[in-house]
Amino acid sequence: MIQQLKERYAALVEDRTGVSPVIGVILMVAITVILAAVIGTFVLGLGDQVGSSQPSASLSISDASSEYINDTNANETFVINHNNGDTLNEENIRITVRDEESNNLVIDLDPASANSSVDTPDGWARLNGAALEEKDDIELNDRVTIMENATDGAYALQNDTNYQVTVIHSPSDSTLAQRTIELR
C-alpha cells in the first residue's frame, strides 16, 4: 500500500506545471487584443490627434479704439489680450475676421503674422506694438493688435458694422476665443 501511494505521489509531481494552459491562452489572447488596438489606432489615423491637443489659454478680444476711422493707412481695429494660460506659438494661431451679416471672410491671418487677407486690403498683426514676426511666442499679458492696411484707398472694414473675430489653434482646429464687435 505504501508503495502504491508513493507511485501515485510521484505521478502527481511529474504532471505538475508552473502555469495552467488556460491562463497561458488567456494571456496570449489579451496581448493579441492590445496589440491589435494599438496598431489599429495608428493605422486609422487616430494616433495623430494625440499630440495636437488644444492649449489652455484665456484670451479676450476687444475693439482697438472708441472710433474706427477708415481713412488712414494703418488702422488699429481689434485687440487680443493673452490673460492667462499657456504660451501660444504664432505659427499655430490663425486669426479670422468675418462680416457678421454676410459671413464673408474679411481678414485671414494664418499664421497670425501673415500679411495677407481675402479682400484687397492687407491685414496684419502687431505684438505689443511691434510687428508680429514668424516664430514669435504670445505669452501672458501680451497684446496682439489687428491692423487694417488699405492699399489704393480700399478698406475692407466699415463703420457701424458687426465683425466676428475668431482666434483658432490650427493644429487642433479648436477655437481659443471668439467675439462679435461693432466698429463705430
The domain that contains 104 carries what CATH number?
A: 2.60.40.3580
Do 78 and 38 sit in the same domain of this protein? no
Do 82 and 108 sit in the same domain of this protein? yes
Confidence of residue 117 (pLDDT cuts 50, 70, 90): very low
Do 16 and 61 sit in the same domain of this protein? no
Condensed to tens digits (0 to 9), the pLDDT of residues 97-113 reads 899 888 888 888 888 87
Cα-to-chain-centroid distance, residue 52 = 6
Do 34 and 70 sit in the same domain of this protein? no
Do 43 and 61 sit in the same domain of this protein? no
Q: Which domain holds residue 92?
A: 57-183
pLDDT of residue 133: 79
Q: How many domains does the chain have?
A: 2
Mean pLDDT of the chain: 79
> What does pTM read for this prediction?
0.66
d(CA 59, CA 82): 5
Asked if 108 contacts 125 with a C-beta cutoff of 8 angstroms, the reply is no
Confidence of residue 119 (pLDDT cuts 50, 70, 90): very low
Residues paired with residue 181 on neighbouring β-strands, in sequence order: 163
38 is written with which cell numbers?
A: 494599438
Do 73 and 37 sit in the same domain of this protein? no
d(CA 89, CA 1): 86
Confidence of residue 40 (pLDDT cuts 50, 70, 90): confident
Residues paired with residue 96 on neighbouring β-strands, in sequence order: 108, 166
Do 35 and 87 sit in the same domain of this protein? no
